[in-house]
Chains A and B, each alone.
Chain A
Amino acid sequence: MPSRRRILIAAATLIASSAGAPLAWRLATDRAGAIRRMILAHVPETRIDAGAIEAFAADFLAQRALLRNGVAIDRACELLGVGPTLPACVANSRYMQRIEEQIVDLFLRSTDIFEPARDASAPIRYVGFWDPYSRTCRNPFAEFDLPPG
């Protein structure tokens, strides 16, 4: 008798493939592959250094036990890995869209794309997992040296 989890996986895969799901995720256990597809849905692959996404995905999945505040990493991993949350995932694509945006956001902040002196024509390089708790004061946009207001 197939497990409930396997039945859910199969059902969701069927639904997603038949519905032509607009989101670039696959309901399978290939978490790194799902992360890759999410990122490439928003960042052209030709602009990304080889191996950058894979390196990010590996660090992302390794960090999930720590990143509890602010970003639904655990939920993202649950959804990527499939499980009891699947029915809600299928029903609530806006939630998955938010997860996807957060992953793309994390990826971009983990690269050199926003470094001021960067050569815009060069591929985007992975420089390390963006973690504001351990690598502090790395906000690339905030400005502090102009008069207040």
Chain B
Amino acid sequence: MEASSETGPVRGKASVPGRGDLSRRFQPMTSAVARIGTGSAYGPQRSRYDVVAVGSGFATSFFLWALLRQAGKPLRVLVLERGPLVAHDWQVRNRRNSPVEEASTYHHSADVPKTWRFNVGFGGGSNCWTGHVPRMLPSDFAMASKYGVGRDWPLGYDDLEPHYEMAEAVMDVSGPADRHPFPKRGPYPQPPHRLSVPDRILQQASPDRVFALPTVRARAATPTRGQCCANGVCGICPVDAKFTILNGMGELYTNARVELSCQAEAVAIETSAGRASAVVYEQAGREFAAQADLVVLGANGIFNPALMLRSGLSHPMLGRNLHEQGGFSARVYLDGVDNFQGSTYETALNYALYDGPHRRSHAACLIEHKNVSRLRPEYGRWRQVLDLDFLVEDLPDPRNRVEIAPGDRKPHVVFRGYSEYHHRGVAAAKAQIARIVQALPVERIEIDPAPRLTTAHLQGTTVMGNDPDESVVDRTLRHHRIRNLFVLGSGVFPSGPPAHPTLTICALSLWAAAHA
């Protein structure tokens, strides 16, 4: 992003064909962006937009993409991104997604070993994610009514299904051609990745449990992404094979109607007469206010509630129920069967422990089959091993929360621990591994005793619901009181199923935009 001699927010504009390639137009930023303009003695310098959005990750990007497609008139949009715009080659060269360490952006206290993983920079989590995009199951939306635990979502699978289809099309998802663990109308845009030999053996034994993993790691190269060649370092794909906002939605941010302002931190939402009127933000040490008819928050489950709390938009549920899946890993040593013949990092999902009556008593679990992992350290048997990752859902707990303190810009994240429901799910999963893999010639199974510190899925702090007293946003992700304020992302999730949340985040954004 180049400093401009114009007044007003630093703008990033480019006109490129096709999807747009932001990385060729903007220099990667590692220093503060110069702010041009004199400001005002009467408060922050003000500018006017139709839409002001905070954050530039999946939630905001898919919302704006849909909003601009359906808008009957040209909209002037400002996107405020706290972090820098980091080019893909910078990430590969430096082996990191951003010069900003996410842990430096918040205070953390936890009663158990825990970290929270996200990315501060243009594109948000799309830079650091692995690219798994399974849908949630219909049961996931109705945990309370079906299993007597947790909360029901205020919408159902059928409401989101067309938006799942659209999100999969936008991201060119590779997925199974015929069978799915969830209802699906149309085919995936790309064929599935090649399964490994252990995948196929387990799938043959349990065809209704094991499926090719839906992923945005390209099976076939696209105009903006390389073909996945199973390098196994998906957090920073060196061949840019996974979908990111940077390689997949450049066209949105090079749209003449959209102004992207990076290294611009939103500090408050101004409200007037029950409506959001402006977003106040800081950039290069100066304060500005972007007035808007519509305000959209897509800054993740920590910073969305923090911003709202600082803005006086308090609510008993705001910042509460922070959660994400927990999990663990296991290594299955095989006798005479080689692994690693698949065509991507992780190749299959195993639903053996996911849905069912057991969810009345303990958490569901989704199992990932790894195709790229460390070799077995035994001469000549290097590949006779199968590593499994287990994602176990958690029930939201209001003690796990995001708070703010006066005079401190950094939010405070408090985590007291996972629920007993989750721990029972972990124990049940560990007890059933041998049964799940019994179709394989198993020598032994080693379970990693250390739980995963994070699954990089921030959820629950701006919960959606039909009751304004029990939820922050309604079923269309619109704030119950401030009706021109949308709060996006997995912070709205009333429950945390084992399925990876990104596709649902995108589908919810498309759903919300359709109701904007």
What residues on B are CB-neighbors of A143 within 8 Å? 194, 341-343
Q: Does A34 contact B (CB under 8 A)?
A: no
What residue of chain A has the Cβ atom nearest to residue B219's Cβ? A148
A76 vs B264: C-alpha distance when bound (angstroms)? 38
Cα distance A66–B195 in the bound complex, in angstroms: 32
Give chain B nearest CB distance to A117 CB in angstroms.
18
A47 to B195, CA, bound (A): 32
**Are A148 and B374 interface neighbours, CB within 8 A?**
no
Residue of A nearest to B97 (CB): A69
Contact yes or no, A100 B233, CB < 8 A: no
Cross-chain contact A144 with B236 (CB below 8 angstroms): no
Q: Do the beta carbons of B212 and A68 come within 8 Å of each other?
A: no
Are B340 and A141 in contact, with the CB atoms below 8 A?
Answer: yes
Instruction: State whether A148 touches B192 (Cβ < 8 A).
Output: yes
Please name the residue on chain B nearest to A147 by beta carbon.
Answer: B194
A105 touches B191 (CB 8 A): no
Using known A-B contacts A68-B96, A100-B377, A133-B92, determine if residue A144 contacts B233 with beta carbons closer than 8 Å.
no
Q: 1/0 per position for A128-149, CB-CB distance to B under 8 A? A: 0000111011110111101011
Report the Cα distance A76→B232, complex, angstroms. 20
Do B95 and A69 touch across chains, with their CB atoms under 8 A apart? Answer: yes
A42 to B192 CA separation, bound complex (whole angstroms)? 36
Q: In terms of DSSP, what is the predominant structure of the interface of chain B? A: loop
Within 8 A of B (CB), among A7-58: 42-44, 47
Given contacts A104-B375, A142-B341, contact A136 B231 (CB under 8 A): yes
CA distance A134 to B89 in the complex (A): 11
Most A C-beta atoms less than 10 A away, residue of B231, B378, B379: B231
Residues of chain A contacted by B44 (CB below 8 angstroms) = none
Take A133-B95, A137-B231, A149-B194 as given contacts and tell me if A142 and B377 are in contact as well, using a CB distance cutoff of 8 Å. Answer: no
Q: Which B residues touch A133, using CB under 8 A?
A: 92, 95, 231, 233, 236, 238
* B230 is an interface residue with CB less than 8 A from chain A: yes
Residues of A contacting B343 in the complex (Cβ-Cβ under 8 angstroms): 142-144
What separation, in Å, do the CA atoms of A66 and B238 have in the docked complex? 14
A window 102-135: CB within 8 A of B:
102, 104-105, 108-109, 114, 132-134
- In the complex formed, the residue of B with least CB distance to A132 is B231
Residues of A contacting B156 in the complex (Cβ-Cβ under 8 angstroms): none
Q: Which of A65-93 contact B (CB under 8 A)?
A: 66-70
Q: Is B229 an interface residue (CB 8 A)?
A: yes
B434 at the interface (CB under 8 A from A): no
Question: Bound state CA distance, A108 and B233, in angstroms?
Answer: 18
For residue A59, CB closer than 8 A to chain B, the reply is no
Contact check, A144 vs B232: say whether CB atoms are below 8 A apart. no
Determine the chain B residues whose CB is within 8 A of the CB of A100 once the complex forms. Answer: 377
Within 8 A of A (CB), among B20-41: none
CA distance A70 to B373 in the complex (A): 10
B374 touches A136 (CB 8 A): no
Asked if B375 contacts A139 (CB within 8 A), the reply is: no
CB neighbours of A47 from chain B (8 A): 379
Known A-B contacts A44-B379, A139-B230, A149-B192; the reply to A69 vs B374 at CB < 8 A is: no
Q: How many residues of B contact A (CB 8 A)?
A: 39
Is there contact, CB below 8 Å, between B177 and A132? Answer: no
B176 within 8 A of A: yes
* Mask of B311-340 contacts with A, CB within 8 angstroms, 1/0: 000000000000000000000000000111
Interface centre among A94, A114, A144, by most chain B C-beta atoms within 10 angstroms, is: A144
B372 contacts A by Cβ under 8 Å: yes
Q: How far is the CA of A115 from the CA of B371 in the complex (A)?
A: 18
Q: How far is the CB of A68 from chain B (nearest CB, A)?
A: 5
Q: How far is the CA of A70 from the CA of B128 in the complex (A)?
A: 12
A149 to B339, CA, bound (A): 15
* B500 contacts A by Cβ under 8 Å: no
The reply to whether B95 and A136 contact each other, CB–CB distance below 8 Å, is: no
Q: Assess whether B374 is in contact with A139, with CB atoms less than 8 Å apart.
A: no
Q: In the complex the two chains form, is B377's CB within 8 Å of A42's CB?
A: yes
Do B229 and A142 have beta carbons less than 8 Å apart? yes
Q: If the complex has contacts A42-B378, A104-B377, A132-B231, are A146 and B238 also in contact, measured as CB distance less than 8 A?
A: no
* Complex interface residues of chain B between 366 and 410 (CB less than 8 A to chain A): 371-372, 374-375, 377-379, 382-383
Q: Which residues from B are CB-within-8-Å of A70?
A: 232-233, 235
B163 within 8 A of partner (CB):
no
**Known pairs A66-B95, A142-B341, A148-B192; A43 contacts B379 (CB<8 A):** yes
Q: Does B239 count as interface, using CB distance less than 8 angstroms? A: yes
**Smallest CB separation, A101 vs chain B (Å):** 5
Inter-chain contact A139/B239, CB cutoff 8 Å:
no
Name the residue on A nearest B211 (C-beta): A149
Q: Which of A42, A94, A108, A144 contacts B194 (CB 8 A)?
A: A144
Q: Which of A68, A101, A109 contacts B95 (CB 8 A)?
A: A68
Whether B232 and A132, one on each chain, are in contact in the complex, defined by CB atoms closer than 8 angstroms, is: yes
The residues in B between 91 and 137 inclusive whose CB is less than 8 angstroms from any CB of A are 92, 95-96
- The chain A residue with its CB closest to the CB of B341 is A143
B193 on the interface (CB 8 Å rule)? yes
Q: With a CB–CB cut-off of 8 A, which chain B residues contact A104?
A: 375, 377
Write the nearest CB–CB distance from B47 to chain A, whole angstroms: 39
**What is the CA–CA distance of A139 and B193 in the complex, to the nearest angstrom?**
15
For the complex, give the distance between the alpha carbons of A134 and B94 in Å: 11
Which residues B43-96 have CB closer than 8 A to chain A?
92, 95-96
- Neighbouring A residues of B383 by C-beta, 8 Å: 141
Shortest Cβ distance from A62 into chain B, in angstroms?
A: 15
CB of B92, distance to nearest CB on chain A (Å): 6
- Output the least CB separation between A64 and chain B (Å): 12
A interface residues with partner B (beta carbon < 8 Å): 42-44, 47, 66-70, 94, 100-102, 104-105, 108-109, 114, 132-134, 136-139, 141-144, 146, 148-149
12 A-B pairs with C-beta separation under 8 A: A66-B95, A102-B374, A114-B382, A132-B232, A141-B338, A141-B341, A142-B342, A142-B372, A143-B343, A148-B191, A149-B176, A149-B195
Closest 3 pairs between A and B when the two form their complex, measured CB to CB? A141-B340, A142-B230, A137-B229
Q: A137-B239, A143-B341 are in contact. List 9 more A-B contacts (CB 8 A).
A: A69-B95, A94-B449, A101-B375, A104-B377, A105-B374, A132-B233, A139-B231, A141-B340, A142-B343
